[in-house]
């Protein structure tokens, strides 16, 4: 009992419990962190939260503590989350099987209802709760709130036949992002947690790829960094070795020769677009490593791949 931190007084934030981090690691982080804290103070960091970091309870706690710590030292984290496995679980409980075309979930009206209540309800509120328990002040938003994400129906062209178009239902393409509600929350010391749901001109809902939302939001907010948490070490070359530092031009070459393919394509495409549109650095990091995000931002150790605009 004697090692527990004192309870926070009413109206104050509870200090995150970092007792499970080894003293040596704490000292290492603190010794390296100061120049990075100084450099990134007041800057916005957009974080795409997904993969194991989102489903493993210990990693969930690590993530929440990292986000709170970044906010406390003066950075402005904005969280965008996915929820594919949770949507799949909810659909299967309803006896409905997910159907994908070229990696995109076909979203009919009934599926869209499930997507909304899973993402904007269960998943979002879990993340908000985790951050608040860790001592932060998180607020959940969808693309509807404050007119944040205007969208239109995604036109999916067949990858083999450009004349053919697939109908994937209520899957959205971003028309515009109005970040004023996000900025207002940031200015009031809140941490926005955003579900990737947009709205159309007839008030219809659209399911949007969370990597795409995170990338576009980072561009519009003129973020210093975009961080994409994944279940891979980062971008690997054909020999399976981690590429820790890539320019936009080098990424284009990896697309061209087929090194980047499959599920990494939309993620890296969003990262590349953000890097080319003014986001200073995009990090694709291994969300399976405890506190990888904090270590990537506040130390000189690479925990994934950094994509630079030039």
Q: Which positions make up the binding site for substrate?
A: 83-84, 105, 207
Residues annotated within a binding site: 83-84, 105, 207
The three-state DSSP-derived secondary structure of the chain is CCCCCCCCCCCCCCCCCCCCCCHHHHHHHHHHHHHHHHHHCCCEEEEEECHHHHCCHHHHHHHHHHHHHHHHCCCEEEEEECCHHHHHHHHHHCCCCCCEECCEECECHHHHHHHHHHHHHHHHHHHHHHHHHCCCCEEEEECCHHHCEEEEECCEECCCCCCCEECCECEEEEEEECCHHHHHHHHCCCEEEEECEEECCCCCEEECCHHHHHHHHHHHCCCCEEEEEECCCCCECCCCCECCEEEHHHHHHHHHCCCCCCCHHHHHHHHHHHHHCCCCEEEEEECCCCCHHHHHHHCCCCCEEEEECC
**φ, ψ for residue 259 (rounded to 5)?**
-65, -40
286: tokens are 């291994």
Cα–Cα distance, 124 to 190 (Å, whole number): 15
Antiparallel, parallel or unpaired: β 76-81 and 44-49: parallel
What is the rounded end-to-end Cα distance, in angstroms, of the chain? Answer: 52
Count, residues in the chain: 310
């Amino acid at each position: 009992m004697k090692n527990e931190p004192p309870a926070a007084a009413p109206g104050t934030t509870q200090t995150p419990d970092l007792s499970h981090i080894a003293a040596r690691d704490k000292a290492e982080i603190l010794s390296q962190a100061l120049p990075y804290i100084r450099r990134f103070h007041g800057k916005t960091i957009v974080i795409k939260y997904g993969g194991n970091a989102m489903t493993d309870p210990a990693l969930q706690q690590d993530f929440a503590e990292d986000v709170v710590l970044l906010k406390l030292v003066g950075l402005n984290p904005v969280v965008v989350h996915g929820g594919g496995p949770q949507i799949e679980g909810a659909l299967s409980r309803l006896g409905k099987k997910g159907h994908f075309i070229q990696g995109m979930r076909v979203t009919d009206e009934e599926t869209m209802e499930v997507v909304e209540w899973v993402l904007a309800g269960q998943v979002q509120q879990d993340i908000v709760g985790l951050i608040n328990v860790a001592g932060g002040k998180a607020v959940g938003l969808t693309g509807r709130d404050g007119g944040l994400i205007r969208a239109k129906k995604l036109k999916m062209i067949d990858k083999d036949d450009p004349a053919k178009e697939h109908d994937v239902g209520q899957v959205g393409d971003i028309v515009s992002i109005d970040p004023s509600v996000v900025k207002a929350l940031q200015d009031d010391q809140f941490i926005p947690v955003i579900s990737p749901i947009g709205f159309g001109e007839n008030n219809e809902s659209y399911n949007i790829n969370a990597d795409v939302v995170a990338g576009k939001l980072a561009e519009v907010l003129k973020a210093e960094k975009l961080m994409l948490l994944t279940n891979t070490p980062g971008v690997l070359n054909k020999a399976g070795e981690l590429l820790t530092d890539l320019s936009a031009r080098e990424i284009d070459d990896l697309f061209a020769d087929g090194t980047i393919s499959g599920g990494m394509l939309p993620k890296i495409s969003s990262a590349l677009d953000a890097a080319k549109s003014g986001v200073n650095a995009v990090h694709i990091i291994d969300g399976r490593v405890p506190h990888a995000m904090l270590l990537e931002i506040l130390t000189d150790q690479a925990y994934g791949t950094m994509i630079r605009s030039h």
